Structure 1
Amino acid sequence: MTTSSIDTQAQAGTEVAGEARELLAAVALEPAGRVTPSVYETARVVADAPWLTGHGRRLAYLLASQRRDGGWGAPGGYAVVPTVSAVEALLGTLRAGGGDRSGEPSRAELAAAARRGLGVLAGWLLERPSLPDTPAADLIVPGLVERIDGHLAWFAAHPGDGFDSPFPGLPGVDRRRLDALHALLAAGRPVPQKLLHAFEVLGSTARRHRDVSLVAGSIGASPAATAAWVGSPAGADRAALAYLETAVGPHGGPVPCCTPITVFERAWALSTLARAGVPATPAPKLVAELAAVLGPQGTPTSPGLPADADTTSVTLYALARLGHPVDPASLLHYDLGSHFCTWQGEDGRSVTTNAHVLEALGWHARRSEAGADRYGARAAALAGWLRDQQEADGRWADRWHASPYYATSCAVAALDRYAPAGVAGEAVDLAVDWVVATQRADGSWGRWTGTVEETAYALQVLLGVGRPARPGVREAAKRGLSMLTTADGRGDDPPLWHDKDLYTPVLIVKAATIAARQLARTRSDLVGTGSWAPERARRGTS
């Protein structure tokens, strides 16, 4: 290696470490976490809490985020939930006499957006789209279609009252799950804890429901659920009102689907940096606070949500990699025998949850004889299950993220490090081959379009495994790193993470890009130097 190459590599290492320190500082300074706004959630706050600070700004956000075709959200079935939410909120605002007030869009603008949204929504529902596996979609859609039909019937009975629509009603949708839920609650059964995050689906039934209590001021860590429970500010719990004011920010604005995400953000960011060997040490207080959230059944993503195996396993792995291991016995609460559930009563199964559990159990199984005795066999069996979930072309897919590049990077990282010898080598190689084969012409990777986030995951697959390099890896990695260094920070990637709507946990994604560049530094045997270095290092400036 030349002196110039060594200097460039050292400069790049300094920049990567500096970015990691800045990231950790942001994580500590913004304990609620940094999350992009949600059309779905914002529209629910518009509908159920028009009295909340910034109502006009949230209406303007809905208008500004409408697509050219009249819908909202990501392509395909991902658009149904945000679109049905936005349309219902706009119709409800018009029905209540909103618009043309100070700080609000005009009634004409609201009506035009609602009419365009209705048109595209009616066409989608007529085709009976397949909804992605996002939380509560099968409850949200029929509940909001019913509310939209109620608005349309009201406008039909009040012609000239601000919305003249040719729609007699939307096509029917499957209501079986929603009707069963209402029947359950009518029979006096308790509200399922996993419903709390989407409590707004109950409509007027949600208001001050006697069987539901606030946790840290919220219902299910959701602005929409909390707004539906509050109903009216008159006599409302001060903690709930404070939670909602915090969610909309000091000036009022759109809201995320889930807030705060303190544990989730910290665990994912710290584990991602540690897994890649990024030289950045978090403050002892940050590590201590992360360890303190672990209880007998692990930890939830946020107060008011059920504890889950995903957040618990990532927290355990982060602490272990940072030199503060905690016995992972809490994960055994989620063991179904064949695999681990994300939480008890989960509908479906998650590849990434099980990949994270494998990392947590596998780390402990390899660090002590006692750990091997207690967790070794279970980790080995789980590795086999995870391998068997691989698609024929080499990818994995998951219920918590829209992109197979995320699921594949999680599965490959776990299998490459913690699967027994001979169990997953071929699966890892097949995944690497799939990543190489699906690179875009500009060097990026992505499901719908090339993104910085998905490119970072793809590079982690190519550069993070310990197996011999596969054909095409060197060239693909160099092209991907070139794209990453030029596009990182542009801020126009679509949201890809699953909640009721798609969202981006901004600092978690930033950690993934830092990790990809760190791996490039440690794999100069594959990518060389210079082409992968951060832009300032390539210019030789600080």
Structure 2
Amino acid sequence: MEINELLSQMAADPWGDVTPSVYETARLVAKAPWLGGHAERVRFLERTQHADGTWGGPEEYALVPTLSAVAALPHNERGRRALDRLLGRPLPDTVAVELIVPALCRELGIAADTGVLDRIARKPLPAKLWHTLEIFGGDRPEVVPVDGAVACSPAATATWLGRRTPGPSLNYLEAAQARHNGPVPAGTPVPLFERAWVLAALKNAGIPTATIDLHITAEGASAGPGLAPDADDTATALYALGATDTSVLDRYRSGRHFSCFPDERTPSTSTNAHVLQARGHDPELEEWIRDTQNRDGSWHDKWHASPYYATACCVTALQGDDKAADWAESTQRPDGSWGRWEGTYEETAYAIQILVRGNRNGPATQRGCEFLENWGDREHPPLWHDKDLYAPTRIIRAEGISALHSARCAVVA
């Protein structure tokens, strides 16, 4: 019943279920007060500020949302003081962080090296940077909205539009803000991303589903309309569809591994794991994935804050890894959960998948399953990387369903 409900909700929703972003919402407060829901966005920022004055995730993940929120709420002294503590620390590996941070610092009058940002701004923006148009300005003839949206970004779209002008872009912005009563995600709509990941998660557990159309062009698949095609969405969509011809992925090859985009700053372990799943056999790629494994048995990745996500992706693609299973067993929390900062439903699901793939079906797996079953309707902490952290709720639900199904099947076997 839960699977059918999840798939029905997903099929009926062309946007995808993604949590609001502090960074993106604050950009609208600062740059688009003319958009409906402005007062609600201000209240969202006020109530999501932490006791220490920051916004957003723990550790390095507080910097970008706090910069954006302070720019939107310039008289927030607690936020200003928090920035003094955050600046100078290592940056998170989130989307365009090396450009967003100096752009926001300049806006706030904080000294920062803007050399790279300025050099990029003097040229036509490549399509992969349209998602962050808000840091470059809207007078860009090369930028073309799709269905009113600029690269699935409310902030980028508001920057391109400039003022309250009736038409497709204003319609997109009003619809995006209405979904969460003011606040907005950093990337929306992202229907292919949600559908491909949900179907892939269920497929990993051997759960049959009806075929859902996932649009793949000669250049690959995009998470949502107007976003540049990338290797991760392409590979996951191909795997979810059971495609036998994966040659579209060849354009992303970069030596032994695959790049998400051209001129990629850092490679992604999870993307390469998804490519290996889609291709089924690639000795060089498999060797590259194994070479990126950490000494403790885990993997890390650029698209997610938690090592449990990257490790689950790699272990699934490699069809098991004993060192990773040992790591998962050794890091379980006393309540049966797993998590980087706290025990979460999502990370516990990944850890169970790691253990099941390693044929570890003992007490640790069973206690993890009990934790998942007792989670209830609690919110899922944002752990996925965009401009700041977000949670793709339906994908997380699918990973939990997959983990429980896999564990039960392993016990029966």
**2:128 counterpart of 1:194:** yes
Deviation at 1:311, TM superposition (A): 0.2
Q: Residue 146 of structure 2 aligns with which residue?
A: 215
Question: 1:3-47 deviations in whole A, cap 9, x for unaligned?
Answer: xxxxxxxxxxxxxxx111110001011111000000000000111
- Does 2:84 align with 1:122? yes
Q: Output the CA distance in 1 between the equivalents of 2:53 and 2:116.
A: 28
Aligned-pair identity (%): 48
Amino acid at match of 1:297: E
Backbone CA RMSD of aligned residues: 1.5
**2:264: which partner in 1?**
346
Aligned pairs, number: 413
Q: Distance in 1 between matches of 2:166 and 2:224?
A: 20
What letter is aligned with 2:383?
Answer: L
Q: Work out the CA distance in 1 between the residues paired with 2:347 and 2:86.
A: 28
Q: Which runs of 5+ in 1 are unaligned?
A: 1-17, 92-110, 150-169, 363-375, 417-424, 527-542
Question: Which position in structure 1 is the counterpart of 2:120?
Answer: 181
Q: Is the 8 A contact 1:137 1:500 kept in 2?
A: yes
In structure 1, what is the Cα distance between the partners aligned to 2:223 and 2:180? 27
Query: SS state of the match for residue 25, structure 2?
Result: helix
TM-score (structure 1 length as normaliser): 0.74
* Bigger shift: residues 391-400 or 239-248: 239-248
TM-score by length of 2: 0.97
Q: Which amino acid aligns with 2:367?
A: R
Corresponding residue of 2:349: 456
Can you list the C-alpha shifts for 1:281-334, whole angstroms capped at 9, x where unaligned? 22x5xx2x21xx1111111111111100100000000000xxxx3511100010
Q: Does 1:264 align with 2:193?
A: yes
Larger Rg: 1
What runs of 5+ residues in structure 2 fail to find an aligned partner?
none
Aligned to 1:148: 108
Cα distance per residue 1:159-216 (max 9 Å; x no partner): xxxxxxxxxxx4x23323212223xx2xxx32111110011011xxx22422211122
Distance (whole Å) between structure 2 residues aligned to residue 38 and residue 299 of structure 1: 24
User: Which one has a larger percent helix, Structure 1 or Structure 2?
Assistant: 1
In the alignment, structure 1 residue 412 sits paired with structure 2 residue 315? yes
Aligned equivalents of 2:154, 2:200: Cα separation in 1: 28
Contact 2:26 2:72 in 1 (8 A): yes
Specify the SS of the correspondent of 2:254. Answer: coil
Q: CA deviation at 1:124?
A: 2.0
Could you give the per-residue CA deviations for residues 219-240 of structure 1, whole angstroms, max 9, x where no partner exists?
111001111111111xx36111
- Equivalent runs, 1:44-443 vs 2, <5 Å: 44-91=27-74, 111=75, 114-125=76-87, 128-149=88-109, 170=110, 172-182=111-121, 185=122, 189-202=123-136, 206-233=137-164, 236=165, 238-249=167-178, 252-279=181-208, 281-282=209-210, 284=211, 287=212, 289-290=213-214, 293-320=215-242, 325-362=243-280, 376=281, 379-416=282-319, 428-443=321-336
The answer to whether the Cα contact below 8 Å between 2:65 and 2:388 also exists between their aligned partners in 1 is yes
Map of 1:12 onto structure 2: none
Matched to 1:387, the amino acid is R
Alignment match, 1:521 = 408
Structure 1 residue 131, shift from structure 2 partner: 0.6
State the distance in 1 between where 2:92 and 2:135 align: 18
Match for 2:369 among 481, 495, 501? 481
Checking the alignment, whether the CA contact within 8 Å between 2:20 and 2:180 is kept in structure 1 is: no
Change (3 A) 1:237 1:384: farther
- Quote the Cα distance in structure 2 between the aligned partners of 1:387 and 1:333: 22
Tell me the CA shift for residue 341 of structure 1.
0.2
Closer/same/farther in 2, CA of residues 500 and 251 from structure 1, 3 Å limit: closer
AA aligned to 2:258 is F
**CA displacement, residues 23-79 of structure 1 (integer Å, 9 cap, x when unaligned):** 000101111100000000000011111011110000000000000000101111110
Structure 1 residues 442, 216: CA separation in 2 closer, same or farther (over 3 Å shift)? Answer: same
Rounded to whole Å, the distance in 1 between the matches of 2:114 and 2:174 is: 33
Q: Is the CA contact 1:54–1:251 (under 8 Å) kept in the aligned structure 2?
A: no
Structure 1 residues 71, 250: closer, same or farther in 2, change over 3 A?
closer
**Given that residues 314 and 360 in structure 1 are in contact (C-alpha distance below 8 angstroms), is that contact kept between their aligned partners in structure 2?**
yes
Q: What CA distance in whole angstroms lies between the structure 2 residues aligned with 1:512 and 1:121?
A: 35
